Structure 1
Amino acid sequence: MAQFNEYHLDPKQFSFLNLLQENWQAIRDEFISFRQNASPEEIELAFNVMGPKSKTIKTKGKSKYSAFGVLFQGMFIEQYIQAHHLTYPQYELQNVSEKVLELRNHYFPKLATAIAQTNALHENVLRNVYFGTFLPGLDVKLHVNYNPHMNRGYLGLIVPEGDIAMKICHDKLYWHEGEFMVLDHSYPHCPHNYTDYERTVLVVDFFKTDQPREDVARFEQELVKQRMEEDPYSLGVFGKNDKAKPEDFVLYGLSHQLEWDKGLGA
């Protein structure tokens, strides 16, 4: 029986996640089909344009975290690109928003439909939706995601057996296929994948439901403006303030991470 607390939340209290969870196998199949059938150009487009970038969150060694998605700050990716007038020099002769719309429609129609239906029924509660893949050996430095207005859900899609876990505060939590893990990412955390296989989840950020909607929406606008000024290719997801404080390492019993985090310029 899972023990829930202020940073590990019971997914059952967020009924608007049900439609995504009910369709988890179809969403997984769309991801697998994309990875197997997309051209090299399409894969490059997804990871270069549809993936939020972070200059703050670092990993140990050469293993990486890869991400790309379809929804950012409540807008589908092609709408987000247009709204923020994003430019991509490597695609300067192409209409990038049209290209990602074509890719989204072709490979991820069921995911997009589930998102649209959920947001239509729940006042655009879903803010970011993207695939997150941990490559084998991944070890992420201790950090926070400074999003006091949102919680983050992880819907397990491809989760092999072994030591693939999220260390957050005093807990070590594990993903499971077809199930949501919901966290308050404003608490210090550091995930890892100590297996020989990839792990992929659907990352779903959503407005906190215990705060007035107008307050969290206003804060999101302010935070996204700041992050887009820092780095427009963060897509408003990550920022310079995604750093754990030195005292967090000791407070949450994660001080073993401190030395190599220092070596990474923490």
Structure 2
Amino acid sequence: MESFNEYHLNPEDFPFLKPFQDNWLGIRDEFTRFINQASEDELKFTYDVLGPKSKTIKTKGNSKYSAFGILFQGLFIEEYIQLHQIKYPNYETNEASEKAFILREKYFTNLAHVIAQINLNNDNIFRNVYFGTFLPGLDIKLHVNYNHHTNRGYLGLIVPEGDVAMKICHEKLCWHEGKFMVLDHSYPHCPHNYTNYDRTVLVVDFFKPDQPREEVIQFEQEQVAQRMEDNPYSLGVFGKSDKAQEEDFIKYGLAHQLEWDKSL
């Protein structure tokens, strides 16, 4: 039986995740259809505009992490672009918003429907929904995600056999197709993909249900304003505070030390 703790959370404690899990095959099919059928222009636009970018999360070696999505800070991507009037090197704001809407309608209608229905019934609890792909050999350095108002769920879509995992505190957790892994990302962590194949999950950030909604909304608004000022292409997902500090390395090392002491 899988064990859970303060940073590795039981998905069953969050029943609003179930519609995603029930529809995981359809969500995966939309992703693979897009990857296989989208034109070069559509793919370029997607990774230029729909992918949250980080300036602080670093990798070891040359392998990359790619991401793109349709919901950011509770808004569908075309609405988010308009709200923040994001300017891109190759696209005007209105053009980027229109193209994003067309792509969402063309390729991700099922995913958008699931998001809309759950948010309608749960007071807009979902904040970010995007696909995250680890390319072969990816090794992300230790970092935190300073989003203490949210938890992050990973729904496994394409998970190869082999060593592809999340190291958080003293644990090494693995993704599984069709199942959620839910983490509190304020704990230091470093994921990797040491296989020869891509790993893709649906990343779902949601408000912590046990925190007052007014407080988490206020925190999110302040955090997003700072992040968008520093890097508008972060889409409010990543920021300077994600970089691991000295105390995070100490916390990570101490967790391993306690586990080693227990084993000895």
Measured against the shorter chain, the TM-score band is: over 0.9
CA contact (8 A) 2:57 2:140 kept: yes
Corresponding residue for residue 214 of structure 2? 214
Q: Give distance in 2, aligned partners of 1:209 and 1:93.
A: 34
Deviations, residues 109-164 of structure 1 (Å, cap 9, x unaligned): 00000000000000000000000000000000000000010000000000010000
| 2:78 is the counterpart of 1:56 | no
TM-superposed CA distance for 1:40, in Å, is 0.4
Q: Give distance in 2, aligned partners of 1:248 and 1:134.
A: 23
Q: Give distance in 2, aligned partners of 1:172 and 1:247.
A: 21
| 2:78 is the counterpart of 1:82 | no
The SS at the match of 2:146 is coil
Q: Which amino acid aligns with 1:45?
A: F
TM-superposed CA distance for 1:88, in Å, is 1.2
TM-superposed CA distance for 1:45, in Å, is 0.8
TM-superposed CA distance for 1:253, in Å, is 2.9
CA contact (8 A) 1:156 1:178 kept: yes
Specify whether residues 18 and 255 from structure 1 end up closer, same or farther in structure 2 by C-alpha distance, changes over 3 A only.
closer
Q: Give distance in 1, aligned partners of 2:133 and 2:119.
A: 25
Aligned CA-pair RMSD: 1.5
TM-superposed CA distance for 1:5, in Å, is 0.5
Corresponding residue for residue 117 of structure 1? 117
Q: Which amino acid aligns with 1:188?
A: P
| 2:34 is the counterpart of 1:38 | no
Specify whether residues 142 and 95 from structure 1 end up closer, same or farther in structure 2 by C-alpha distance, changes over 3 A only.
same
The SS at the match of 1:35 is helix
Corresponding residue for residue 67 of structure 2? 67
Corresponding residue for residue 235 of structure 1? 235
Q: Give distance in 1, aligned partners of 2:252 and 2:125.
A: 30
5 Å-filtered alignment, 1:90-239, equals 90-92=90-92, 95-239=95-239
The runs of 4+ residues in structure 1 deviating greater than 3 Å are: none
CA contact (8 A) 1:72 1:236 kept: yes
The SS at the match of 1:253 is helix
TM-superposed CA distance for 1:83, in Å, is 0.2
Q: Which amino acid aligns with 1:84?
A: H
Specify whether residues 63 and 85 from structure 1 end up closer, same or farther in structure 2 by C-alpha distance, changes over 3 A only.
same
Q: Give distance in 1, aligned partners of 2:248 and 2:56.
A: 17
TM-superposed CA distance for 1:2, in Å, is 1.3
TM-score norm. by structure 2 comes to 0.94
CA contact (8 A) 1:63 1:135 kept: yes
Q: Give distance in 1, aligned partners of 2:242 and 2:89.
A: 27
Corresponding residue for residue 262 of structure 2? none
Specify whether residues 223 and 178 from structure 1 end up closer, same or farther in structure 2 by C-alpha distance, changes over 3 A only.
same
Corresponding residue for residue 26 of structure 2? 26
Q: Which amino acid aligns with 1:210?
A: D
Q: Which amino acid aligns with 1:160?
A: P
Q: Give distance in 2, aligned partners of 1:45 and 1:254.
A: 43
CA contact (8 A) 2:8 2:183 kept: yes
5+ residue gaps, structure 2, are 257-264
Q: Which amino acid aligns with 1:61?
A: G
5+ residue gaps, structure 1, are 257-266
Q: Give distance in 2, aligned partners of 1:42 and 1:2.
A: 40
Q: Give distance in 2, aligned partners of 1:250 and 1:102.
A: 47
Q: Give distance in 1, aligned partners of 2:149 and 2:92.
A: 35
The SS at the match of 1:221 is helix
TM-superposed CA distance for 1:181, in Å, is 0.2
Q: Give distance in 2, aligned partners of 1:231 and 1:173.
A: 31
Q: Which amino acid aligns with 1:251?
A: K
Deviations, residues 235-257 of structure 1 (Å, cap 9, x unaligned): 0000001022224324323899x
CA contact (8 A) 2:148 2:186 kept: yes
Corresponding residue for residue 259 of structure 1? none
TM-superposed CA distance for 1:95, in Å, is 1.1
Identity %: 70
Specify whether residues 220 and 94 from structure 1 end up closer, same or farther in structure 2 by C-alpha distance, changes over 3 A only.
closer
Deviations, residues 206-243 of structure 1 (Å, cap 9, x unaligned): 00011111111110000000100110110000000102
